[in-house]
């Protein structure tokens, strides 16, 4: 397989997909993101994702993961709200083990998927893709994509996905019917109608624990903030996803520069998000 016609996403492309607030906005009209991530085993994913989302220009973030995790989330992000309520988009799955879902959690995930608003499916919720019809972005890495395709009886392997990510991202988008954001040093974003966008990471230092959780938070926030546009234009989802990856990379680039080229941790990314978004919006 091979792939052509991929567009490398740039700062100038991204600006259009951010949604600045206006005088008529309140926190609800700016978009509310519902987040069901983290677990007793992996609470850190929730902390990173929620913090990233609150800093990415959404009106409100509702986090409704496990109760002890909520306290940790609030200590980092007191702006987050930890009760259920109306949301305009969902972020599901970071920091969860799909083999250990409680009945309560299954109910919450089903509720979210049935709500009809756009959904970002990450990590421990990837297996739920296809169980719903709302606009959806999935955020697998190569191994996770290979598994998803295998579940659909498409023969492939991690190695094959890694050697031709463009083709496999596009194929998965068509097969599964969702926007596929295949993570890597070059991230490939494909939608079922043929959108094909790449984003090249500006630094290899992004390959660090929690980095993907931060990306989930950015993406969830951008989707929630664009809920009105998405209601009218399903094709907006791929460019919004590409914009999230671009923001993530630019945040890493700034974070690395701030430590003179040294290593970074995932929470360094959240500290840079607001500036990156400010500069992109121009």
Tell me if 61 sits within 8 A of 53, measured CB to CB.
yes
Residues whose CB falls within 8 Å of the CB of residue 279, separated by 6 or more in sequence, listed in order? 11
Among the listed residues 37, 139, 211, 243, the single contact to its own copies using CB under 8 A: 211
Residue 17 binding its own copies, by CB under 8 A: no
The answer on whether 195 is annotated among ligand-binding residues is no
Is 186 annotated in a binding site? The answer is: yes
Measure CA of the first residue to CA of the last residue in the chain; give whole Å. Answer: 39
The answer to whether 262 contacts its own copies (rule: CB under 8 A) is yes
Listed in sequence order, the DSSP H helices in the chain are 11-14, 43-54, 67-76, 103-114, 142-151, 158-163, 165-176, 211-225, 227-232, 237-258, 266-281
Residue count, binding to its own copies (CB under 8 A): 67
217 annotated to a ligand binding site: no
Stretch that binds its own copies, among 1-9, 36-44, 132-140, 145-153 (CB under 8 A): 36-44
Residue 277 interacting with its own copies (CB under 8 A): yes
Q: How many helices (H) and strands (E) does the chain have?
A: 11, 9
Q: Is 15 in the site for its own copies (CB under 8 A)?
A: no
Q: Which stretch binds its own copies (CB under 8 A): 148-156, 173-181, 188-196, 254-262?
A: 254-262
DSSP 244: H
Query: Restricting to residues 167-186, which ones interact with its own copies according to CB under 8 A?
Result: 185
Please report how close the Cβ of residue 161 comes to its own copies at its closest, in angstroms. 13
Q: Segment contacting its own copies (CB under 8 A): 1-9, 59-67, 119-127, 234-242?
A: 59-67
Among 21, 130, 177, 192, binds its own copies (CB under 8 A): 21
Q: Is residue 120 within a helix (H) or strand (E), and if so which, with residue range?
A: strand 119-121
Q: Are 57 and 221 in contact (CB under 8 A)?
A: yes
Burial of 153 (0-12, 13-18, 19+ CB in 10 A): exposed
Report the residue from 9, 14, 57, 245 that binds its own copies according to the rule CB under 8 A.
57
From 4-12, 58-66, 188-196, 233-241, give the range in contact with its own copies by CB under 8 A.
58-66
Whole-angstrom distance, CA of residue 275 vs CA of residue 257: 14
Is 37 marked within a binding site? Answer: no
**Would you say 133 or 279 has its CB closer to its own copies?**
279
Beta pairing class for 186-190 and 196-200: antiparallel
- Residue ranges of the annotated binding site for AMP are 183-187, 212
Binding site for its own copies (CB under 8 A): 20-27, 29-30, 41-44, 47-48, 51, 54-61, 68, 71-72, 74-83, 141, 185, 204-205, 207-211, 256, 259-268, 273-279, 281-282
């Amino acid at each position: 397989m091979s792939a052509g016609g991929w567009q490398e996403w740039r700062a100038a492309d991204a600006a259009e997909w951010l949604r600045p607030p206006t005088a008529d906005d309140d926190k609800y009209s700016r978009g509310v993101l519902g987040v069901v991530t983290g677990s007793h085993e992996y609470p850190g994913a929730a902390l990173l994702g929620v913090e990233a989302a609150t800093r990415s220009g959404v009106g409100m973030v509702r986090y409704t993961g496990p109760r002890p995790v909520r306290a940790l989330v609030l200590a980092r992000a007191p702006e987050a709200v930890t009760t259920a309520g109306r949301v305009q988009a969902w972020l599901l799955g970071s920091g969860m083990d799909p083999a250990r879902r409680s009945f309560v959690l299954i109910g919450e995930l089903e509720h979210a998927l049935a709500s009809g608003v756009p959904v970002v499916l990450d990590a421990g919720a990837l297996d739920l893709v296809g169980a719903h019809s709302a606009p959806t972005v999935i955020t697998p890495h190569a191994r996770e994509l290979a598994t998803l395709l295998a579940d659909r009886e498409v023969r492939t392997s991690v190695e094959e996905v890694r050697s031709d990510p463009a083709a496999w991202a596009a194929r998965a988008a068509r097969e599964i019917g969702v926007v596929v954001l295949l993570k890597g040093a070059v991230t490939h974003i494909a939608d079922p109608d043929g959108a094909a966008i790449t984003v090249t990471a500006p630094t290899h230092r992004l390959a660090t624990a929690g980095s993907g959780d931060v990306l989930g938070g950015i993406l969830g926030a951008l989707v929630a903030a664009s809920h009105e546009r998405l209601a009218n234009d399903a094709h907006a989802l791929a460019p919004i996803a590409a914009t999230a990856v671009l923001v993530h990379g630019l945040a890493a680039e700034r974070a690395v520069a701030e430590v003179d080229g040294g290593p970074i941790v995932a929470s360094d990314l959240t500290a840079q998000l607001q500036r990156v978004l400010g500069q992109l919006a121009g």
